[in-house]
Structure 1
């Protein structure tokens, strides 16, 4: 199981916290080392001055804290003073640390001073505790600031993403409120510009669709009248069939234009789902109806029947019989036994929905059947989904 992905806000907060920890840690280590070196240098200088005073006292026979040839003199100090130099040395015995200062007072005698290094160690430990507390407080403050900044950036990015998703789902009035002048503000402006351009293109497409349909309606009606005046025969039947298909296409385009313009009215009433399905497939052969469980729903019967007719017709045209309509309460499934939806068409159906004048089939067609079915379902507040059945064939599911 993959771990959940971190959002932008969390990533920014973690990055700021990590940077704060690194800066605080580096600063603390640097201050510790500088202070320790300064303390040691000060202690060495002080003990060396005491050694010089003790040497003067020893020269005139006065008593001092210095010792002649102490038995616990560290070996490194004993070796170093052979060159007639004064030596300061910090000895670590494991249990404690001792600071030594030594010098030669004769060919064979060594004068030495020593004292515990405990005060410096305690002072350094106190400094470390202060640095730790200060670094922790600074890290918390900076991390909280980074968290607030990250959450703000994350909210703005999520708002832009949700607006883009709303636009993809058809809400072309969705916009991202412009805030700031950073990259996220630029992203928001780009999303708004995209929505404006997409809305303009779709509006132009809708106007062209409606204008073409209205312009074709009159000549098609004239052709239908003229066909009735032709003498009976095979030629007139072919012409009549073609005119009828053209008339159906014009009506489909007009219906799409009405749905695009959002002027379609929905007249609801209570109907049995099985009754609407029977009326929808009354004129279609090779369509089976299976009622698992019937239900009474409040909907627009004419639009539900149009959806089912389009789905069944599409299944017969692009799939393979038998086509089965299964009713399971308010859920209606339309399945054929053909090769199923092509992968590219299924991907489009799952994202932006059916595209008009595109079928994804080798047999041709106008591609308006699924577009009208989806538009009608949207008007009814129903859910229409498309998939390939596990046992083969395409399946569309309408949930009223």
Structure 2
């Protein structure tokens, strides 16, 4: 059954959510400010126009009364007439003027003779107060609308960010080898399309990998019988240089076939882990028994519950890889449940070291052509996963490549007083 990815990544979600919320808020503020300014200007212009028209009509009526009856509610030549009004009315028959200030006044003036000017005025404060009330109302309503729209934008951005993060995390899991990971479909937008594309890619990758694994396993099974026959036939040949060469080649071929079969079993998850309690140092010594350039150094002893055959296979592969690509001596340092396998060569090349830290050991990848099949580290990594252990790689500060195998510890470690290879235990 395939697992469906869920969850959220805080960094990506907050980034997208914040950006969307800020963009929506900025758009809302800009739209609200532009609309408020436009409404303010239009309302102010309408108010002033209406006030000018009304006062001008009153002035016209007052001028008619003055002309017919000699009396009028308007003032004649008032001393407080603003100079702009006085100047303007000399060149025109009738003018209106808004005098700004703390108490604005609207003026209307008409010339009734060469020297006389009839004037009406009234306070413009009511219109100013009405406009201020409109501005406050619009600001309050606009502010509430901006908050609501921004919260909606934040919700949308966070939701988009979470979905995008799930897609990214699932793609990373697939890249790291979890081909069962899938994204739960949600919606019909571009992110949902991205999720469907990731799922389709994972399905295609899974099918292709399964086909390659079947081909690899079939080839290894088919080769096992003829290789066994070749090994038997070579054993019947008379001794000699040619026979020794053939025996070595057949032995290497047989080992390669067994390695491929082991990889196929791990891929098919058919490997069975049989655990028992063992000393870590004992497994390390068995792993390199008979290897002249490999030595075991015990700093701290520990007993672990694990599959000893697989642990020994891991350590043997690591030691063989160190001897093949590094330089002797190869030292297996036992420090409790941790075993460090170090050679004294130039260390991991930069490109291989980057691959080991990102995607782990890759099959059929070696440091140089013709130096091996590249299955040793891949098998060691696969066995490590089966055991629930941890395998890391680094270049030792004092030189050489180092692989570190960490096993789960069962009992309290005990100090080891001496080692069989002449190394002095470190405190």
TM-score > 0.5, shorter chain as reference: yes
Q: Is the CA contact (8 Å cut-off) linking 1:318 and 1:363 kept in structure 2?
A: no
Task: Quote the residue 2:128 is aligned against.
Answer: 121
Partner residue, 1:247: 254
Q: 1:54: how far off?
A: 2.4
Bigger mean CA offset, 330-339 vs 133-142? 330-339
Residue 273 (structure 1) aligned with residue 264 (structure 2): no
Q: How far is 1:58 from its partner?
A: 2.7
Contact 1:334–1:396 (8 Å) recurs in 2: yes
How far off is 1:268 after superposition? 1.4
Tell me what 1:182 maps to.
Answer: 189
Q: How many residues align?
A: 395
Between the aligned partners of 1:101 and 1:323, the Cα distance in structure 2 is 108
Which residue among 23, 27, 52 is the counterpart of 1:19?
A: 27
Contact 1:342 1:361 in 2 (8 A): no
- Structure-2-length-normalised TM-score: 0.87
Residue in structure 2 matching 1:61, options 50, 64, 70: 70
Query: Is the 1:281–1:309 contact (alpha carbons within 8 Å) kept by the matching residues of 2?
Result: yes
Query: What CA distance in whole angstroms lies between the structure 2 residues aligned with 1:164 and 1:308?
Result: 32
The reply to whether residue 107 of structure 1 matches residue 108 of structure 2 is no
Q: What is the CA–CA distance in structure 2 between the aligned matches of 1:291 and 1:163, rounded to whole Å?
A: 42
Match of 1:130 in 2: 137
What corresponds to 1:88 in structure 2? Answer: 96
Q: Considering only aligned residues, what root-mean-square deviation do their CA atoms show, in Å? A: 1.9
**Secondary structure, in 3 states, of the residue corresponding to 2:182?**
coil
Q: Give, in angstroms, the shift of residue 256 of structure 1.
A: 0.4
Matched position secondary structure for 2:394: strand
- Give the match for residue 412 of structure 2: none
Corresponding position: 1:316 with 2:323: yes
What per-residue deviation string (whole Å, max 9, x for no partner) do you get for residues 186-208 of structure 1? 11111111111111111111111
Partner of 2:344: 337
The change in CA–CA distance for 1:80 and 1:292 in structure 2 (over 3 A counts) is: farther
**2:23 maps to 1:10:** no
Instruction: Give the match for residue 164 of structure 2.
Output: 157
Structure 2: segments with no counterpart, 5+ residues: 1-10, 408-427
The whole-number CA distance in structure 2 between the counterparts of 1:211 and 1:30 is 78
How big is each residue's C-alpha offset from its partner over 1:135-167, in whole Å with a ceiling of 9 and x where there is no partner?
111112212222222222222212212221222
84 and 15 in structure 1: CA distance in 2 versus 1, 3 angstrom threshold: closer
Shift of 1:359: 1.1
Q: What is the CA–CA distance in structure 2 between the aligned matches of 1:181 and 1:16, rounded to whole Å?
A: 22
Which digits, 9 at most, give the CA deviation of each residue in 1:265-305, with x for residues without a partner? 01112222222222222232333433333322221111111
**Match 2:41 to one of 33, 47, 56:** 33
- Please report how far the alpha carbon of residue 245 of structure 1 lies from its aligned counterpart in structure 2 after TM superposition: 1.0
Aligned equivalents of 1:47, 1:338: Cα separation in 2? 103
1:89 partner SS: strand
2:79 aligns with 71
Could you say which structure has the greater relative contact order, defined with CA pairs below 8 angstroms and 6 or more residues apart? Answer: 2
**1:216 aligns to 2:241 (yes or no):** no
Q: Distance in 1 between matches of 2:403 and 2:37?
A: 67
Determine the structure 2 residue equivalent to 1:294: 301
